[in-house]
Amino acid sequence: MRHLAVLTSGGDAPGMNAAIRAVVRTAIYRGRTVSGVYRGYQGLINGDIHELGARSVANIIQRGGTMLRSARSMPFMTPEGRAQAAENLRRHGVEGLIVIGGDGSFRGAHALSQEHGVPVIGIPGTIDNDIYGTDVTIGFNTALNIATEAIDRLRDTAASHDRLFLVEVMGRHAGHIALNVGLAGGAEAILLPEVPHDLDEVVSSIVEAQARGKSSSIIVVAEGAYEGGAMHLKEKIEAACGYEVRTSILGHMQRGGSPTTRDRVLASRLGYAAVEALLEGQQGVMAGVDKRGTVFVPLEDTWSKQKEIDWQLFEIAKVLAV
């Protein structure tokens, strides 16, 4: 395999640039040619494929976002679109593809491989940390730090004005961010998509906290934990117990900014591992990490199996919120 390509797909995550850098420089170190595909799968269809050198990825390890950019591609979801993408890879002489993204991106990579024989390897890049087969994904640690800092700042205001704050963090289907920042921020309650919540229970927890002498509270809400999100929950709480509630929706700021040291190291490790694996003949897998170090799992597992939240952390958070 003499020519590799790399693309980023789906939502951006801090550390994607570090992964791109690692892919490019590892491939060059091994004497291979490497190209970047701009704007994800849409770029594959459009033939937006350009050779990269070691200097092409200089001074990007500290930058958030993705230098290759990302885009959603409806045409790639069709057999015709994937056929065009595969033809463009062949026309550029690309023999193996590395895809940095989440489970939707991996589904696309798997389909491309199955239908057209393109060797692919995935690298998990998403702040949600919801990819099965890896303990942590690129961008997760940075998102935690951003959200935790925001909660620390909001607690100062909450304490100064004796207020209840609802803080909504990202996580439409997974509560990994909410659970970790809720525990780290000393939240009085954490609402997760994985745990059904009754409004009466939420209100009771607030009232009980007040009875125990708490004059202010922080409740962390994953965006998918309550229908209508934190704004709808705010209205329900105010109507049920009469407390003044403030809401802060952190939104996309969690996806931006310079990656932490941990995310840069993780991205570098996985970018290197993905290239080495392709050159050794592996394909159809994702490079991830667990307690053993770098691991490879079938791409199909990343979306067909569910990654559980850390239930021990959830129990700890409940105990420490008294």
Is it the case that residue 234 has pLDDT exceeding 90?
no
Is it the case that residue 9 has pLDDT exceeding 60?
yes
Q: Quick check: is 263 catalytic? A: no
Annotated ligand binding at 24? The verdict is: yes
Q: How many CA atoms lie within 13 A of 89 on its CB side?
A: 30
Annotated ligand binding at 127? The verdict is: yes
* List 12, 48, 128, 263, catalytic entry: 128
What DSSP line would sit under 98-129, residue for residue? EEEE-HHHHHHHHHHHHHH---EEEEEB-TT-
92 three-class SS: coil
pLDDT of amino acid 189: 85
3-state helix, strand, coil in the chain (%, to 5): 45, 20, 35
The one-character DSSP state at 306 is: P
Whether 20 contacts 68, CB under 8 Å? yes
Annotated ligand binding at 254? The verdict is: yes
Average pLDDT, the chain: 91
Annotated ligand binding at 264? The verdict is: no
Dihedral (CA of 190, 191, 194, 196) sign = positive
By C-alpha distance, which of 10, 9, 318, 8 is closest to 172? 10
Mean pLDDT of 25-49: 97
pTM for this predicted structure: 0.93
CA distances for 40 relative to 21, 27, 121, 209, 222, angstroms = 16, 20, 15, 48, 28
Is it the case that residue 215 has pLDDT exceeding 60?
no
CA distances for 276 relative to 10, 27, 87, angstroms = 24, 8, 25
Residue found under tokens 């609802």: 166
Q: How many CA atoms lie within 13 A of 209 on its CB side?
A: 25
Please, what are the domains in the chain? 3-139+259-304 (3.40.50.450), 141-255 (3.40.50.460)
Question: Higher pLDDT residue, 107 or 212?
Answer: 107
Is it the case that residue 198 has pLDDT exceeding 80?
no
* From 9-18, 81-90, 159-168, the region with the lowest mean pLDDT: 159-168
Distance CA 127, CA 148 (A): 14
pLDDT of amino acid 216: 65
Mean pLDDT of 24-31: 98
Is it the case that residue 305 has pLDDT exceeding 80?
yes
pLDDT of amino acid 159: 73
pLDDT of amino acid 214: 65
Annotated ligand binding at 3? The verdict is: no
pLDDT of amino acid 225: 83
The percentage of residues in the chain with a pLDDT greater than 70, rounded to a whole number, is 97
Annotated ligand binding at 252? The verdict is: yes
Dihedral (CA of 183, 317, 294, 253) sign = negative
By C-alpha distance, which of 183, 253, 192, 184 is closest to 221? 192
What DSSP line would sit under 22-75, residue for residue? HHHHHHHHTT-EEEEETTHHHHHHHT-EEEE-GGGGTT-TT--S-TT-----SG
pLDDT of amino acid 197: 77
pLDDT band at 83 (very low <50, low <70, confident <90, very high): very high
Distance CA 6, CA 19 (A): 10
* From 84-93, 120-129, 178-187, 249-258, the region with the lowest mean pLDDT: 249-258
Annotated ligand binding at 126? The verdict is: yes
| Strand blocks (E) in the chain | 3-8, 33-37, 49-52, 96-101, 120-124, 164-169, 189-191, 217-222, 245-249, 285-290, 293-298
